[in-house]
Structure 1
Amino acid sequence: MTKVEIFDPAMCCSTGVCGPSVDPELTRVASAVYSLEQKGFNIKRYQLTTNPDIFAQNNEITRIFKEKGPDALPVVLVNDQVVRVGGYPANEEFAQWFGVKPEELNEKPKSRISFNLNQL
């Protein structure tokens, strides 16, 4: 089974919808990752701000970080092998790695809000 790990730079969130402007690249990646997770694939994202221990425990990430600094992020590993440094994969690459169609990677996270107007 394919395993993909994305090591993100320090940022406030992985979706790209926080802050003064929306980053469409982060939104695209968040949608692709969400879609793949919903299908049960082994894909993980780690952020430098919230998962520094995972960065430190991975020898490849530590090596890249020492050689190139934080500007090397994001780094993408497929089955523990570095496949991308300094950028995110295209949806076609995600699709190839997991054997799905690229158009299957556009699912947006949904959250359902329920409230009773009579209780307001």
Structure 2
Amino acid sequence: MNKVEIFDPAMCCSTGVCGPSVDPELTRVAAAVYSLEKKGFNIKRYQLTSNPDKFAENDEITRVFKEKGPDALPVVLVNDKCVKVGSYPTNEEFAAWFEVNEEELNEKPKVRLSINLNQL
């Protein structure tokens, strides 16, 4: 089974739904990663702001940083080898790496909110 690691640039969240506008690319990637994780695949996502240790510990990421600087992010490793620099994987790439159909990558996390209007 393949191991995929995505090293994100510094940002406030990985979903793309925070800030003044929604980033559809981040939303797509978040949905794909969520779907793959839910199926038990070995996929991890690290943010520079919240996981700097993962960046510092990884020799391949250190090499990319030395060669291209932090503007090279996102960086994608498959089985510890750099396969993509400067852009996120397409759903086609995710599907190939994990041998799934692209349609399986569109599941979005469901959050249930409970609001008691009597307490407002």
Instruction: Please indicate, yes or no, whether the TM-score normalized by the shorter chain is above 0.5.
Output: yes
Between the aligned partners of 1:87 and 1:94, the Cα distance in structure 2 is: 13
> Deviation of residue 107 (structure 1)?
0.6
User: Any idea what SS the aligned residue of 2:53 has?
Assistant: helix
Equivalence for 2:60: 60
**Amino acid corresponding to residue 56 of structure 2 in structure 1:** A
TM-score by length of 2: 0.95
Between the aligned partners of 2:20 and 2:119, the Cα distance in structure 1 is: 34
Q: CA RMSD in A?
A: 1.1
Which ranges in structure 1 are unaligned for 5 or more consecutive residues?
Answer: none
Structure 1 segments, 4+ long, off by >6 Å, are none
Equivalence for 1:26: 26
Q: Percent identity?
A: 83
Which ranges in structure 2 are unaligned for 5 or more consecutive residues?
Answer: none
**Amino acid corresponding to residue 35 of structure 2 in structure 1:** S
User: Any idea what SS the aligned residue of 2:77 has?
Assistant: strand
Between the aligned partners of 2:7 and 2:71, the Cα distance in structure 1 is: 12
Between the aligned partners of 1:50 and 1:116, the Cα distance in structure 2 is: 33
User: Any idea what SS the aligned residue of 2:7 has?
Assistant: strand
Q: Residue deviations 1:83-104, cap 9 Å, x none?
A: 0000001001000110100011
Relative to structure 1, is the Cα distance of residues 19 and 115 closer, same or farther in structure 2, using a 3 angstrom cutoff? Answer: closer
Between the aligned partners of 2:16 and 2:73, the Cα distance in structure 1 is: 15
Between the aligned partners of 1:40 and 1:119, the Cα distance in structure 2 is: 40
Matches of residues 1-120 of structure 1 in structure 2 within 5 Å? 1-117=1-117
> Deviation of residue 114 (structure 1)?
2.8
TM-score by length of 1: 0.95
User: Any idea what SS the aligned residue of 2:16 has?
Assistant: coil
Corresponding residue pairs, total: 120
Between the aligned partners of 2:117 and 2:38, the Cα distance in structure 1 is: 32
Between the aligned partners of 1:118 and 1:22, the Cα distance in structure 2 is: 32
> Deviation of residue 67 (structure 1)?
1.1
